[in-house]
A and B are shown apart, each in its own frame.
Chain A
Amino acid sequence: MENNYYDAADLKKFGSIVNFQKQLGEKFFDYYGEVFKDSELTAREKSLIALAVAHAVQCPYCIDAYSSDAFEKGWSEGQMMEAVHVACAIRGGASLVHGVQMMNKVKEIAM
């Protein structure tokens, strides 16, 4: 194994997590498969959500997988980048909204 925390080849080995804990692993993959099926949201819409979340959680495996999956499902580069901006806006907004807390505190203590 190379001296890296992340290895792109590990993505293909995701399924092997059941080797250490079969029952929970299988339940997860069953659930995962069910989540991404066409339902009230289409599999295509879910793929774009997954792409945005992948960027929010900054998972390189998920970004690899859902960049391919979303493009395969017909989303354009522009649409995919807008989804990433949504993740970015929410992440950025989550920091910035705490500015209100900061302002409240400063107002509390300032003369």
Chain B
Amino acid sequence: MKSLLAEHNILSNTSEQIEILEHRESEDFKLIPFQQKLEESNLYPLTPQSLEVFQVNMGKMCNQVCKHCHVDAGPDRKEIMTEETMLQCLEVLKLNPFLKTVDLTGGAPEMNPRFRWFVEEIKKLNRHVIVRCNLTIIRANKKYYDLPQFYKLHNVEVVSSLPFYTQDRTDRQRGDGVFEDSIKSLQMLNDVGYGQSDTNLILNLVYNPAGAFLPPAQDALEKEYKEALMNKFQISFNQLFAITNLPISRFLDYLLQTHNYEKYMEKLVMAYNPVAAANVMCRNTISVGWDGYLYDCDFNQMLDLKLACSSTHLSQFNIKNIINRNIKIGQHCYGCTAGAGSSCGGAVA
């Protein structure tokens, strides 16, 4: 499987995606605009609340090609963050101490050759670091085998996708063999102390649906995951985050190809929850692209919707502008407000 970009799929053009999301309608299919929903909830315009999270997408390169990936990441994607851009990130962090958490994502962020150096530099600034590790990267090459020890050394919080606790559903979404490698990697993380009750090494897992449906209740699912992973594989972890798939990039392509798009969008709209809308992650997060451009969230980043203010790049980072901006919204935002809500930290309501 290749990325949409490598396949010259029309959806690799973000304006095509936005056209579908914002304007596709028919006699039987017409969605309430997300803006109207926010207005009804007295949340429009959506504004930042307290900026705390600096989420850095270190590149689109990945060892996996997942069917639902909103980044369209994969081995054929060569866009990765340069050291120069990382230095700009570090400068922003130095000047803005309230950005307490640095959330590193990708692609597989570990594939960036300056990844370890970047983590070490961030830790020198005394920030909490989260790495969104796809698990299989740990087993992908000998040079990654010691990642668990590296994470431990720097007390990095590890957040890892495991779409389900069975092989079938996981491999269907993430590729053949992913479940087996993920289990081995989780055991390696457990072995150095991650996810154990007697350490402070945090290992959180992410569930996201393997298909055109919404996640079930996070608490109940976490209990099932914990029982299943412990009973079958003696694996323990801290929390499970249930995340909704947003209709972007490869997941949008899947929805369209399988004729699930309309039903899925209707499902998201029907499940709109104003409490979740009030707590969406874009209110406390700034998302940085691999090339240093700034976005409200990782999803707006993948739709190339840059910040609605004059600070659209790290080189122009002005915290006053950023705090006083309005957050860009679109129909894709229904993915973060459905049911119990969805964020990089799971449910929000």
Neighbour of A44 across the interface among B28, B166, B220, CB < 8 A: B220
- Bound complex: CA of A74 vs CA of B270, how far in Å? 21
Interface residues of B: mostly helix, strand, loop or mixed?
Answer: loop
Task: Give the residues in chain B near A71, CB-CB below 8 Å.
Answer: 211, 213
Q: At the interface, yes or no: B20 with Cβ under 8 Å from chain A?
A: no
Q: B214 and A76: CB pair below 8 A?
A: no
Task: Give the residues in chain B near A73, CB-CB below 8 Å.
Answer: 216
How many chain B residues touch A (CB < 8 A): the figure is 17
Q: B209 and A43: CB pair below 8 A?
A: no
Q: B213 and A38: CB pair below 8 A?
A: no
Q: At the interface, yes or no: B221 with Cβ under 8 Å from chain A?
A: yes
Residue of B nearest to A71 (CB): B213
Q: A42 and B216: CB pair below 8 A?
A: no
Q: B209 and A72: CB pair below 8 A?
A: yes
Neighbour of A43 across the interface among B28, B213, B217, B266, CB < 8 A: B217
19 residue pairs A–B, Cβ–Cβ below 8 Å: A9-B28, A12-B266, A12-B270, A43-B220, A44-B216, A44-B220, A68-B213, A71-B211, A71-B213, A72-B209, A72-B213, A72-B214, A73-B216, A74-B164, A74-B216, A74-B221, A74-B224, A76-B168, A76-B169
How many chain A residues touch B (CB < 8 A): the figure is 12
Chain A 70-99: CB-based contact to B (< 8 A → 1; otherwise 0):
011110100000000000000000000000
A68 to chain B, nearest CB (A): 6
A94 to chain B, nearest CB (A): 33
Whether A76 contacts B166 in the complex (CB less than 8 A), given A68-B213, A71-B211, A71-B213, comes out as yes
Task: Give the residues in chain B near A43, CB-CB below 8 Å.
Answer: 217, 220
Q: At the interface, yes or no: B215 with Cβ under 8 Å from chain A?
A: yes
Binding site for A on B (CB under 8 A): 28, 164, 166, 168-169, 209, 211, 213-217, 220-221, 224, 266, 270
- Bound complex: CA of A42 vs CA of B224, how far in Å? 11
Whether A42 contacts B213 in the complex (CB less than 8 A), given A74-B164, A76-B166, comes out as no
- Bound complex: CA of A42 vs CA of B200, how far in Å? 32
A41 to chain B, nearest CB (A): 12
- Bound complex: CA of A85 vs CA of B164, how far in Å? 25
Residue of A nearest to B213 (CB): A72
Q: B215 and A72: CB pair below 8 A?
A: yes
Task: Give the residues in chain B near A72, CB-CB below 8 Å.
Answer: 209, 213-216
- Bound complex: CA of A71 vs CA of B28, how far in Å? 26
B24 to chain A, nearest CB (A): 19
With most chain B CB atoms within 10 A of its CB, the pick from A38, A44, A74 is A74
Chain A 4-38: CB-based contact to B (< 8 A → 1; otherwise 0):
00000100100000000000000000000000001
